[in-house]
A and B are shown apart, each in its own frame.
Chain A
Amino acid sequence: MKQIKLNYLFIALAFTVVLTSCHKDKIAQNSGSPVPQRAGLYVLNQGGFGDDNSTLTYYNYATKQLIPDFYALANPGKQLGDTGNDIEIYGSRMYIVVNNSNVVDVANAKTGVLIGQVAINQCRSIVFNGSNAFVTSYDGDVQVIDTASLTITKFIYVGRDPEQMVIANNKLYVANSGGLSSVPDSTVSVISLSSFAVENSIPVISNPVSVTTDASGNVYVLSLGNYGTIAGGLTIIDSNADTVKSKPAVSIGFNVPMTNLGNQIYFPTADNKIAVYSSISNKIIQTNFITDGTVITSPYAIQADPTSGEIFVADAKDYSSDGTLDAFNSSGKLEYKLTVGINPGKIAFVNK
């Protein structure tokens, strides 16, 4: 039971654990068109911060086989490194952003075999547009990778400690968390995808981390606040005018993953229930999406599969031992439960 003990040599480490490891995950915008047939899903487990034990769990839908570390299996002698923070599949490749190992791994999406690596200091999240990948770095920028040559072609300076990004209206919205300072950032940078320049900076609730969008082009931003005097919350941005549309009153906990399915936004509330916000009625339409009594202890990742309407919730449990992945059907009933790794922070679907 000796878990992450605070001792004075590692006090700052613990501090960093709170600020970074405890959840800054990003929502997949599967920017590609929906694919009818899935081969399975990946769960990227962060591992313990500083433990160098991030793993990639693969679940095969057909065989129902669960491989605890698909990356290590596909790449003998290799491990992901420390705190895998984001995974996205784009085209035939998967991109794994390994935060504390300062690297973006590019691998074959089906086989997991490593194709190349791009070094980015303190990289956090990735999104794609055309032949470019955009990666946030705690250095305070978005770095643009040319997906053909796997080289960095541009640095776009944004706010402090940028986290997740989402694309809406041909613009890239970047959540500037500033979460490593006691006074967090509270802006979302808007980058034009034609000029690659920052066009706008939108004030949001302090310490924005998660972003997603809906079918109407709204951008949803979940913020953590300053863990004290300033509460976290939800900011909704109108991406046409690039203005704040509303800040609906929601109770945000310590975990703020978010996903969208059509015009519905799913995110956990402070009591570990999964709330559903509708962009049609502009309000919370369900305080708990889960209808069969399934209890989530620490909702660390949440992901909708638009092809099936399923909602997947990863539970980090005690944050120091293996978590689980719960698959719910569209009516909020548990379909199955998988044991995954420590701090499962991101889910990605892979096609046949």
Chain B
Amino acid sequence: MYLRRKSGCFVLFLIAVVVPCKSFAQTDTTKKLNEVKVLSAVTPNLQSIVPTQSISSNDFIRYNAFNVADAIQDFPGVIVKDYGGIGGLKTVSVRGLGADHTAILYDGIAIDDAETGQIDLSKFNLNSIQKIVLYNAQPPDICMPATSFASASVIAITTVKPALTALKPYSITAGIKAGSFGLINPYLQWQQRINNNWSFIVNGYTENANGQYKFKGAANYPDSTMVRKNSDVSAQQIDGALYWAKNDSDKFSLHINYYNSDRGLPGAVIYNATPSNERLWNKDIFVQASYKKIWISGLQLLVNTKVSQSYLRYLDPQFDNIQGELDLRYTQQELYQSVALAYHILKNWEISYAFDATLNNLSVLFNYPDPIFPDPTRLTLLNVFASNLVLGKLRIEGNILNSNITETVKTGNAAQPRNIYSPTLMATLTPFANSDFQLRAFYKNIFRDPTFDDLYYQEVGIPDLKPEYTDQYDLGATYSKTLTGFFYYVTVTADAYYNDVTNKIVYLPSNLFPQSTVNFGKVDIEGLDVSLKTQAKLSENTKWLLSANYSYQKAQNVTDPTSSIYLNQIPYTPKNTVALNTGIDYKDFGLYYNQIISSSRYYTNDNLPYDYIPGYSVSDASANYHFIADNKPVIASFEVNNLFNQSYYVVHDYPMPGRSFRISLQITI
């Protein structure tokens, strides 16, 4: 009942937004709308100090991307752990490190989950997203919150900003995506310029799907076609942002985001198992604000603030306990404050300092009399000094991060306070006269703190856990050339890396209760990421684009030389991954093709035939068409996922969907 009421409110809200916009639009139709068609090519900037991959909203269609996880799956070094289907959990592993080593930034501020350390990337709908960038190590800018320095890699999500003129002070985009899995996803975006300084944007969507799909390959029924059930999704999101800018050097923004979802969890495909009726509800809200000012003296200030609350309820209505059900309700709250200052001492020398304070709290309502968590609260204080220096053809950047973490719990033992120094050093060298060819290298030492689950989850967590440390070494070369002939540009990057994980936190039901999570593992990862991007002009109206990425990962368990699993490949890590993306733009028409090839993987440490997951090659194709209807730009697109209807698994016992379709229609007024 509660959820229904919420959905009702949301619909009302949409109507409230749509109605005034329409009337606004009607009074404004006399104004001439000019769509500027761009058929040039901008050379992607991949020659950064750290390996950087990015995708912007215009390219989402090329990758058949529906959510953030889809959009970044081609990036070299990225492995999306996909539990399948429209509501299935999707997390990323970057360069063989666990999902909790990657920070997710939403307009520069981290989205945190202190309980699990993992962010489900399937919940970010792309409608309001302008750009997604993956930085290995960290973003190269030194004037940023300390949190951005504090992970092994960073996925930075940037939302659409209003880009309007006094001539046309508003823009409304309405669209709908629909297709397989019973998907219906209408969305709306309203951009409004208030005056010279103020503007706002509101994004909203609803997403409903039954999520059902056919699959093959279940144990004991390898050739039967079965249907994935209890996989329905209902999600709504509303995101509003208010912007103030005096000029480029004096800016403020305020963001409010509310996400509500209700989904079924289809569970693992298990022989003769009781069909799952498990459900998951999320209600997440955050408010964040950011202020940035750059003085003529070269001083830069960046202030960020965030307040968030996330609520998660898990229900298994057929659990064999006294209550006959398992009903877990988690509420997490976060307060976040960040101040960063940067100063150009000399033209070629900049220093910065950032301080972040984060307060995380987790409380749980549990249908047992005992609390499952002792209400942990964590205060994280981060201080970072960073500097960059340009010496001719050499650019050096480095920082030292101090992390001070203290925790309290209402009952039992809290984790010991942690005070850790983490260095990073990065450099690029342009050895030749022109800057087409560059060399780069970085070293980063960082850790991921144990999550509340790791530390305190009843019967599993232990408060004595140490953080999981990673040392990353990277050496790479980039070549980028903007051309004027047949090709617009050619960009090639190659990075070899070595990652060393120590004190890896592993879930291990130990005999000496209650030690169940332990700092057990050591992992060595040797890898290579190669990417090629090019665009060519096939004719006056025809543009061809190719992006090819290759990743090699040898990720070995080096915990115990006497163990049978020593030097085995860690689970869910393919040695070879190829991602190919190509497409043609002809006038207003685009045709795109994406292919991901993954070598086989193992789902346990044994690396034996029983835990083998075959490799796969999956192709997606899409077409889109831009046209003007009634003076308004319209985009229509058609996407086919898993074009050749491959039956495959990314996660053991979680089948992926076969061929599926999606159509989209979007109009901007």
Residues of A bordering B, CB below 8 Å: 1-9, 11-12, 14-15, 17-19, 21-22, 48, 50-53, 55, 68-69, 77-82, 98, 100-103, 119, 121-122, 138-140, 160-161, 178, 180-183, 227-228, 253-255, 268, 270-272, 298-299, 317-322, 339, 341-342
Contact = CB atoms under 8 A, between A and B. Distances in A.
A1 B521 contact: yes
Contacts, number: 205
Contact of A52 (B91, B113, B268, B459): B268
B509 A227 contact: no
Contact of B270 (A8, A52, A138): A52
A160 B322 contact: yes
Contacts of A21: 509
Determine which residue in A53, A102, A339 has the highest number of CB atoms from chain B within 10 A of its CB, and name it: A53
A50 B268 contact: yes
Nearest to A253: B511
Contact of A319 (B267, B509, B512): B509
Interface stretch (B294-302, B313-321, B385-393): B313-321
B508 A7 contact: no
Contacts of A78: 220
Contacts of B563: 317
B322 A183 contact: yes
Given A7-B118, A298-B511, A14 B460 contact: yes
Contact of A101 (B115, B273, B316, B368): B273
B665 interface: no
B277 to A, nearest CB: 12
Given A50-B270, A51-B603, A254 B611 contact: no
A9 B83 contact: yes
Contacts of A50: 267-268, 270, 653
A50 B155 CA distance: 31
Contact of B457 (A6, A9, A180): A6
B312 interface: yes
Contact of B272 (A6, A101, A138): A101
Contacts of A51: 268, 603-604, 652-653
Contacts of B559: 1
Given A7-B89, A81-B272, 8 more contacts: A2-B571, A6-B457, A11-B314, A50-B267, A52-B268, A80-B271, A180-B319, A298-B510
Given A2-B571, A101-B272, A181 B220 contact: no
Contact of A12 (B326, B453, B608): B326
Q: What 4 pairs across the A-B complex have the smallest Cβ distances?
A: A81-B271, A1-B521, A182-B368, A181-B321
Contacts of A8: 113, 115-116, 118, 120, 280, 312, 314, 330
A270 B512 contact: yes
Contact of A253 (B113, B368, B512, B608): B512
Interface string B200-226: 000000000000000000011010000
Contact of A342 (B280, B510, B523, B606): B606
A253 B505 CA distance: 22
Most buried by A among B270, B280, B328, B330: B270
Contact of B606 (A2, A69, A227, A321): A321
Contacts of B323: 181
A7 B563 CA distance: 27
Nearest to A341: B610
7 contacts: A14-B507, A52-B219, A79-B220, A101-B272, A182-B368, A228-B514, A253-B513
Contacts of A228: 370, 458-459, 514
B557 interface: yes
A283 to B, nearest CB: 23
Contact of B278 (A5, A12, A18, A318): A12
B314 A81 contact: no
Given A122-B320, A270-B512, A320 B604 contact: yes
A254 B511 contact: yes
Interface residues of chain B: helix, strand, loop or mixed (majority): loop
Interface string B225-237: 0000000000000
Contacts of B381: none
Nearest to A23: B509
A161 B570 CA distance: 35
A53 B611 contact: yes
A183 B268 contact: no
Interface string B605-637: 110101100000000000000000000000000
B508 A318 contact: yes
B495 interface: no
Contacts of A69: 610
A310 B46 CA distance: 66
A90 B410 CA distance: 53
A7 B117 CA distance: 8
A106 B322 CA distance: 31
A11 B219 contact: no
Contacts of A81: 219-220, 270-273
A4 B270 contact: no
Contacts of A254: 509-513
Contacts of B368: 181-183
B270 A320 contact: no
A4 B606 contact: no
A79 B219 contact: yes
Contacts of B521: 1
A322 B608 contact: yes
B320 A139 contact: yes
A270 B265 CA distance: 37
A254 B571 CA distance: 26
Contact of B604 (A5, A48, A102, A160): A48
Contacts of A102: 272-274
A178 to B, nearest CB: 8
B506 interface: yes
Nearest to B88: A9
B195 interface: no
A16 to B, nearest CB: 8
A298 B515 CA distance: 13
A139 B320 CA distance: 7
Contacts of A77: 220, 222
Contacts of B326: 12, 15
Interface string B242-274: 000000000000000000000001011111111
A127 to B, nearest CB: 21
Contacts of B653: 50-52
Contacts of A2: 93, 98, 570-572
Nearest to B272: A101
Contacts of B571: 1-3
A180 B219 contact: no
Nearest to A102: B272
Nearest to B271: A81
A322 B219 contact: no
B565 interface: yes
Nearest to A138: B320
B64 interface: no
Interface string B509-529: 111111010001111000000
Interface string B543-583: 00000000000000101000111000011100000000000
B564 A103 contact: no
B369 A182 contact: yes
B239 interface: no
Contacts of A178: 322
Contact of A11 (B269, B328, B513, B516): B328
A7 B565 CA distance: 24
B564 A321 contact: yes
Interface string B480-511: 00000000000000000000010010111111
Contacts of B520: 1, 318
